[in-house]
């Protein structure tokens, strides 16, 4: 545990990190660390090329361009959202896979947006200057929201690029990120889900693994394949044991810089609550899926997401319950406070820890009710989300840009409308199922006699109320949504739609809960900013902020581990896949797709399949490219092992590993199993054959 403890202390103080720790900003890369540890020079040109080759998926995940003709690659489980929405009872692309041999056969995704980071700008001084020093939390939050909206709108109008102000170091800095946006995205290839997620839930977060977790897309502009300058050259050789590799992706969230008070809240309340809800939903969707093949198809992507999240939260909670982890966090915080004590210039930083603890208590007191009402856990269905968006759009859009809820700002309009007007299928029977269950969960949490619960139920049982709402609403009709959105608040009110009226019923309470959260978050941001200033003054500015679903660079080596006293190799092979299937008697989820059994003889069974590295990743990195020193694509991240799950709070490379699909395995499967020679040619050459 000594390595873990050391990593925790360093992480807590945000010093230059040990080993291969770090989710580094591209505009603040770890150049010195890479030179000292690996004799590698991360040049501006190398970084810019990797940055502009990397892609963020609005559905939650990462990817990269791999040809000049807009071809890009991500994970199958990142593409599952698009595959599910395009599937029907007759054509199940998620289960059976898809292969477009010509451009004309590529299927356009319904509501997928891709973002490519073009530039970053530090706007901390401007954001902070807009907030008066002694302003209370409500006034400070309003001022900060207004100036952020101004910065984003100015950037959008000036560049035409999606512009997001990103909060870093929990409020220690604010950077403006500008993205090129692609909204015409088409599916080129996806394998069967059985080989993409081989071993299913039993093997999830485990290693050795044998997953072809890939999905290929193409970005289009003006109806033609996009011409991109920056893309990653595909390496047929791929990664080898001991190689230095890099991961460029969009980790979603980490909590490494949180205070002990915040971590205790996550351990004792927030994470157990989320887990209880996930486990309940997992049973519900599992049972419903078992009733028919069509039920299973409709719920497949949601069911996978719930299972994956449940296992991830289990691992994160395990980390928080590790006394060594919490003791190290507590010791690091105590030592840092001791360095601040008696120094008047750091009095605000020392007081900040108590301010964060007080704000955390206020947030904890309303956390469950906020999750249910504002977070929507009490109304788990697509129809409610659409209804709430229409209701709030009518109220928010007439306001000045800087006074709106952030999701309705001018800079986010294109993304909001892309999702709101999506033609994605919404199934009433599944909607009734999940809404009825979440209403039951609401009553269980707040009590059946809670005044708001009584109004929501309207004298009916959960199932009957859910059926009434789902069958009575018109918001699933895209034409109706467009009319109500264009018509504003008066049109929304005149619609007299039962789901919109449910959203209206809870909106005042939900907004009030959100207001408290936003104000307390503002208090915490100001406190964290004070801590950040003290940290930089005492320890220097080297380090990286917590993950924010923005582009980060990680590095490490391809390296096996040890588990239960036995060595775990760094790479698996195709031979291992067939051995695993035989060992498990080909029973689900260890059965092979028929095409793989049929074409086994074509494969070079020595081909590397999956591999592990010490690169620092977390959820959101799924689909991230793994590149070598030359910046060549050598693999694609698809998972971490069980020991990596506590990386949300602290990094340790003792056993934790990032899992990736090997580039050689991708080429071997595309050509010899799927006969996709035109794709392999494009990957190797970097351009589509005419």
Tokens 């054959």 — which residue?
689
Strands 107-108 and 98-99: unpaired
* Residue 160 CB contacts under 8 Å (≥ 6 apart), including other chains: none
Radius of gyration for the chain, computed over Cα atoms and rounded to the nearest angstrom: 25
Residue 227's CB: how many other CB atoms inside 10 A? 11
* Spatial distance between the Cα atoms of 274 and 257, rounded to a whole number of angstroms: 21
Q: What is the pLDDT of residue 194?
A: 98
Q: Where do the domains of the chain lie?
A: 2-113+183-256+545-685, 260-536
Per residue in 168-206, pLDDT (tens digit) is 999 999 999 999 999 999 999 999 999 999 999 999 999
**Contact status, residue 401 vs residue 156, Cβ threshold 8 Å:** no
- pLDDT band, residue 2 (cuts 50/70/90): very low
Query: From the centroid of its chain, how far is CA 266?
Result: 19
Per residue in 77-121, pLDDT (tens digit) is 999 999 999 999 999 999 999 999 999 999 999 999 999 999 999
Q: In what order do the strands lie in the sheet with 244-249?
A: 24-25, 552-557, 244-249, 625-627, 633-640, 658-662, 608-613, 571-573
Tokens 């708001």 — which residue?
452
Strands 107-108 and 244-249: unpaired
Please report the sign of the dihedral spanned by the C-alpha atoms of residue 35, residue 40, residue 44, residue 50. Answer: negative
Per residue in 377-395, pLDDT (tens digit) is 999 999 999 999 999 999 9
Per residue in 271-328, pLDDT (tens digit) is 999 999 999 999 999 999 999 999 999 999 999 999 999 999 999 999 999 999 999 9
> How much of the chain exceeds pLDDT 90, in percent?
95
Q: What is the pLDDT of residue 540?
A: 77
Q: Which residues of 389-412 are buried (b: 16+ CB within 10 A; e: fewer)?
A: bbbbbbbbeeeebbebeeebbbbb
> How much of the chain exceeds pLDDT 70, in percent?
97
Phi/psi-derived region of residue 463, left when phi > 0, alpha when psi is between -120 and 50, beta in every other case: alpha
Tokens 């031979």 — which residue?
575
* Residue 471 CB contacts under 8 Å (≥ 6 apart), including other chains: 428, 432
* Spatial distance between the Cα atoms of 146 and 320, rounded to a whole number of angstroms: 36
Would you say residue 642 has pLDDT above 50?
A: yes
The Cα-based distances of 438 to 233, 451, 484, 506 in angstroms read 47, 17, 27, 15
* Spatial distance between the Cα atoms of 14 and 463, rounded to a whole number of angstroms: 50
Would you say residue 15 has pLDDT above 60?
A: no
As given in the structure block, the two tokens for residue 95 are: 């289960």
- Please spell the DSSP secondary structure of 178-211, one letter per residue: EEEEE-EEEEEEE--HHHHTTTHHHHTT-SS---
Mean pLDDT, to the nearest integer, of 54-60? 96
- pLDDT band, residue 689 (cuts 50/70/90): confident
Q: What is the pTM of this model?
A: 0.95
Per residue in 591-629, pLDDT (tens digit) is 999 999 999 999 999 999 999 999 999 999 999 999 999
Would you say residue 13 has pLDDT above 50?
A: no
- Please spell the DSSP secondary structure of 254-307, one letter per residue: --TT--HHHHHHIIIIIHHHHHHHHHHHHHHHHHHHHT-HHHHHHHHHHHHHHH
- pLDDT band, residue 542 (cuts 50/70/90): confident
Is the pLDDT higher at 9 or at 338?
338
Q: What is the pLDDT of residue 522?
A: 97
- Please spell the DSSP secondary structure of 499-567, one letter per residue: HHHHHHHHHHHHHHHHHHHHHHHHHHHHHHHHHHHHHHHHH-S-S-PPP-SS-EEEEEEB--EEETTEE
- pLDDT band, residue 133 (cuts 50/70/90): confident
**Contact status, residue 659 vs residue 110, Cβ threshold 8 Å:** no
- Please spell the DSSP secondary structure of 359-427, one letter per residue: HHHHHHHHHHHHHHHTS-TTS-SHHHHHHHHHHHHHHHTTS-GGGS-GGGSGGGHHHHHHHHT------
As given in the structure block, the two tokens for residue 507 are: 């909106």
**Own/partner pairs, 597-601, CB within 8 angstroms, 24+ separation:** 599/672, 599/673
* Spatial distance between the Cα atoms of 271 and 549, rounded to a whole number of angstroms: 20
DSSP code of 16?
S
* Spatial distance between the Cα atoms of 182 and 222, rounded to a whole number of angstroms: 11
Per residue in 415-424, pLDDT (tens digit) is 999 999 999 9
Residue 136's CB: how many other CB atoms inside 10 A? 11
CATH topology of domain 2-113+183-256+545-685: Thrombin, subunit H (2.40.10)
């Amino acid at each position: 545990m000594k390595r873990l403890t050391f990593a925790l202390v360093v992480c807590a103080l945000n010093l230059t990190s040990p080993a291969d720790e770090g989710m580094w900003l591209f505009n603040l890369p770890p150049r010195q660390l890479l030179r000292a540890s690996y004799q590698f020079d991360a040049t501006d040109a190398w970084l810019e090329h990797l940055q502009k080759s990397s892609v963020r998926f609005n559905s939650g995940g990462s990817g990269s361009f791999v040809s000049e003709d807009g071809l890009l690659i991500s994970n199958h489980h990142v593409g599952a959202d698009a595959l599910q929405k395009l599937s029907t009872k007759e054509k199940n692309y998620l289960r059976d896979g898809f292969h477009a041999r010509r451009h004309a056969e590529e299927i356009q995704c319904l509501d997928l947006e891709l973002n490519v980071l073009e530039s970053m700008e530090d706007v901390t001084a401007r954001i902070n200057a807009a907030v008066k020093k002694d302003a209370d939390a409500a006034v400070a939050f309003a001022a900060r929201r207004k100036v952020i909206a101004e910065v984003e709108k100015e950037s959008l109008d000036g560049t035409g690029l999606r512009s997001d102000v990103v909060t870093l170091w929990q409020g220690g800095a604010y950077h403006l990120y500008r993205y090129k946006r692609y909204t015409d995205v088409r599916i080129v290839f996806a394998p069967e889900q059985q080989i993409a997620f081989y071993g299913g839930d039993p093997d999830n977060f485990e290693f050795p693994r044998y997953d072809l977790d890939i999905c290929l897309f193409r970005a289009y502009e003006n109806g033609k394949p996009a011409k991109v300058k920056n893309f990653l050259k595909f390496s047929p050789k791929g990664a080898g044991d001991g190689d230095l590799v890099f991961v460029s992706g969009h980790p979603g969230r980490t909590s490494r810089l949180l205070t002990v008070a915040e971590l205790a809240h996550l351990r004792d309340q927030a994470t157990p609550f989320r887990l209880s809800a996930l486990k309940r939903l997992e049973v519900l969707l599992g049972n419903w899926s078992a009733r028919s093949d069509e039920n299973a198809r409709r719920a497949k992507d949601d069911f996978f997401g719930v299972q994956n999240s449940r296992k991830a939260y289990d691992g994160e909670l395990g980390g928080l319950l590790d006394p060594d982890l919490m003791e190290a966090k507590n010791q690091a915080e105590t030592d840092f406070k001791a360095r601040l004590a008696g120094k008047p210039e750091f009095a605000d930083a020392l007081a900040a820890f108590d301010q964060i603890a007080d704000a955390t208590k206020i947030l904890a007191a309303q956390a469950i009710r906020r999750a249910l009402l504002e977070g929507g856990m009490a109304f788990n269905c697509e129809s409610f989300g659409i209804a709430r968006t229409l209701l709030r759009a009518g109220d928010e859009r007439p306001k000045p840009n800087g006074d709106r809820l952030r999701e309705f700002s001018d800079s986010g309009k294109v993304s909001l409308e892309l999702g709101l007007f999506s033609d994605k299928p919404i199934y009433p029977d599944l909607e009734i199922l999940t809404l009825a269950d979440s209403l039951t969960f609401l009553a269980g949490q707040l009590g059946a006699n809670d005044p708001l619960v009584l109004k929501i139920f309207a004298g009916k049982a959960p199932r009957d109320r859910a059926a009434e709402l789902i069958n009575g609403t018109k918001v699933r009709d895209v034409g109706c949504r467009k009319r109500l959105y264009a018509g504003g608040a008066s049109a929304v009110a005149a619609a007299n739609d039962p789901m919109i009226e449910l959203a209206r019923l809870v909106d005042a309470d939900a907004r009030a809960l959100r207001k408290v959260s936003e104000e307390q978050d503002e208090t915490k941001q100001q406190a964290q900013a004070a801590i950040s200033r003290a940290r930089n003054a005492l320890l220097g500015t080297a380090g990286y902020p917590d993950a924010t679903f923005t582009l980060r660079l990680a590095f490490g080596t391809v390296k096996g581990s040890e588990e239960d006293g036995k060595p775990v190799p760094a790479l698996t092979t195709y031979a291992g896949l067939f051995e695993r299937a035989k060992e498990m008697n080909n029973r689900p989820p260890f059965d092979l797709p028929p095409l793989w059994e049929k074409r086994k003889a074509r494969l070079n069974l020595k081909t590397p399949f999956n591999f592990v590295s010490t690169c620092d990743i977390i959820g959101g990195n799924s689909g991230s490219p793994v590149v070598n020193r030359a910046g060549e694509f050598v693999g694609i991240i698809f998972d971490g092992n069980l020991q990596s799950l506590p990386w949300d709070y602290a990094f340790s490379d003792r056993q934790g590993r990032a899992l990736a699909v090997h580039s050689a395995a991708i080429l071997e499967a595309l050509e010899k199993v799927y006969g996709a020679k035109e794709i392999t040619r494009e990957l190797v050459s970097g351009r589509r054959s005419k």
